[in-house]
Amino acid sequence: MEQNKIHVSECACASCSPVDTNGLSRKDFLRRLGAVTAGLGLAPVTAYALTEKGKAEEILKSQSIKSGKVQHLSLLHTSDIHGQVNVHDEFFWENDKAVFKKRGGFAHLKTMIGELKKQNPNTLLLDGGDCFQGSGLASLSEGRAMIPLMNNLGYDLVLPGNWEVVYGKQMLLNDMGAYNAQKICANMFNDDTAGDLMFPPYSVFYIAGIKIGFIGYNDPLTPIRQAPAYNKGIRFSAPEKNLAKYVKLLKEQEQCKMVFVMSHMGLTQQLDLASQPYAEGVDYILGADTHERIREPLAGKYAKVTEPGAFASFIGKLDLVIEDGKIKEESYELLEVDPEKYAADEEMKSLITTAYQPYEKELKRVIGKTKTTLMRYYVLETPMDNMITDALMWKFNPDISIANGFRFCPPLVADSNNMAEITSDYLYSMIPGNNNTIMADVTGKQITEWLEKELENVFSKEPAKRLGGWLVRFQGMKIKFTIDAEPGKRIGEIMVKGKKLELEKIYKVASCEREGDPESLLCRIRDVKNTRKLGFLVHEVVEEYLAKHSPIAPELEGRAVATDAASTLLTQVKGVNYQFR
């Protein structure tokens, strides 16, 4: 019922922009984010069990709520959908082994959201970004096909994620603008104007008898993580620039009883933010980006942190009991979107069919088969990325082929008895950007320094130095390293095609071009020589490889071996009571 949920205000006026809107360099950002202690650099961080198991059900049965003596507020949070609108295989880690179950699907998600809203009309539906990139439907429509589907789900508030920039600034504005939901982001600025904010920095809702405020932050390191062309005309700042200002405004001027940060910065950065002094007054950081599945919120010094998984497979649900304008009880749980539990909504099914019609023939095209499960999720090495780098090696015969350690794309489950078909749609889920392939000459010394930097990006003891990705993937090379060693001293051995790497030797390295990078930069390796385009898009290479080698059977091969972690390592996060499962 609309009377239970009133959107009070949002702000994008010049008076609410930060006093200093100058963008931070990476160096300044890392320095200013503050000194950190061992592990995650937090005040001692522990798992914060808000309530005992089953408290959400108790809240629903409360006679005080039924009688109207107290109010019940629910927040439903999704993120990192990455264009995945259909039921798909999903990865779980149970009893020290991988388990796969069917999860997700927008038609089932809609039914689930509807049932949760029936349980509590005082409900807000939130999304934390990275929605309209990551599948064939999303990529071929530049995100447009996702808009009517998201609007049909009935979101109240959305945040742009780091991949929302993938189609360029104008398409970002067009796609975000087409959402019926309110939009917030306090750290994305128009770089080609007077420096005004691209979106309102915060939003306020009056619901269940109280006012609550939301402040939004995209990853300040997006310009480094993404191809330069994606971010043209956009400037980012760090939360320290204006978070305290907006918290003060929401608490004192708007009289909000609770303040939430919606963040797309990755779990390590969000945990760090939760213990920074400028986050004082924030109740929760509703996080996103690293696809982590937080089942019990993690507590920093000032705020609690959640993250709701990915691919529309999960909903994070926060329940609050309010009496006389004060929070009396809290309960958080991570709910699975189980298609066997929630029937498909017919209206959403029809919308999905309509969305696919212009692209259906291309996306259903079968390009190969696999006898082993294609998956990401592992931090060090994955069968899916081994296949992609195998294809680059087969096509161009370099010394080393490399690919980014992306985290999008659900698994594709198969075995030798039940081979799975790889479609064009699934290829877009594996590699949404169909970029040019390139090769360059790189010295062994450059490769060593680059690998040390990549390891620091993934495993730095300083949260703000973690770019959010998993380890870079490669073929033709094997490395052994120690995660907990000092920065720049982690690698113990590098082998290239069975021989020890030579620092002065020049190696041919093949990869994919990042749009807008200078010719001297290849997959973040600087000052490479003799860069040349190879005349093929990466999708063409993978399709040719699959046509020649199907059925494929990629597995873990020990291409990246850590002396102090298992090959099945599932998260970068250390020092907290959390496991990805």
Exposed (0-12), middle (13-18) or buried (19+): which is 98, by Cβ within 10 Å? Answer: middle
Confidence (pLDDT) at 12: 41
Confidence (pLDDT) at 209: 86
Confidence (pLDDT) at 14: 34
Task: State the greatest distance between any 2 C-alpha atoms of the chain, in Å, as a whole number.
Answer: 77
Segment 113-126, tens digit of pLDDT = 999 999 999 999 99
Confidence (pLDDT) at 19: 32
- The tally of CA atoms less than 13 A away on the side-chain side of residue 413 is 12
Cα–Cα distance, 171 to 184 (Å, whole number): 17
Domains along the chain with CATH numbers: 8-34+59-354 (3.60.21.10), 364-562 (3.90.780.10)
Residue 537 to residues 20, 424, 440, Cα–Cα distance (Å): 42, 14, 16
Confidence (pLDDT) at 4: 55
Contacts of 100 (CB under 8 A, 6+ apart): 89, 90, 91, 92, 373, 411, 413
Tens digit of pLDDT at every position of the chain (581 positions): 344 567 766 554 433 433 333 344 433 433 333 333 333 333 333 333 334 456 677 776 676 666 667 889 999 999 999 999 999 999 999 999 999 999 999 999 999 999 999 999 999 999 999 999 999 999 999 999 999 999 999 999 999 999 999 999 999 999 999 999 999 999 999 987 677 999 999 999 999 889 999 999 999 989 888 888 899 999 999 999 999 999 999 999 999 999 999 999 999 899 999 999 999 999 999 999 999 999 999 999 999 999 999 999 999 999 999 888 777 889 999 999 999 999 999 999 999 999 999 999 999 999 999 999 999 999 999 999 999 999 999 999 999 999 988 888 999 999 889 999 999 999 999 999 899 999 999 999 999 999 999 999 899 888 777 776 689 999 999 999 999 999 999 999 999 999 999 999 999 999 999 888 899 999 889 999 999 999 999 999 999 999 999 999 999 999 999 999 999 999 887 767 788 89
Angle, in degrees to the nearest 10, between helices 346-356 and 106-119: 150
- The tally of CA atoms less than 13 A away on the side-chain side of residue 262 is 34
Confidence (pLDDT) at 17: 36
Cα–Cα distance, 570 to 310 (Å, whole number): 14
Confidence (pLDDT) at 61: 65
Q: What are phi and psi for residue 513, nearest 5 degrees? A: -75, 140
Residue 328 to residues 51, 66, 121, 295, 492, Cα–Cα distance (Å): 12, 16, 19, 21, 53
Contacts of 348 (CB under 8 A, 6+ apart): 106, 107, 110, 149, 152, 153
For residue 395 the two structure tokens come to: 């096509």
> Which residues share a beta bridge with 260?
214, 284
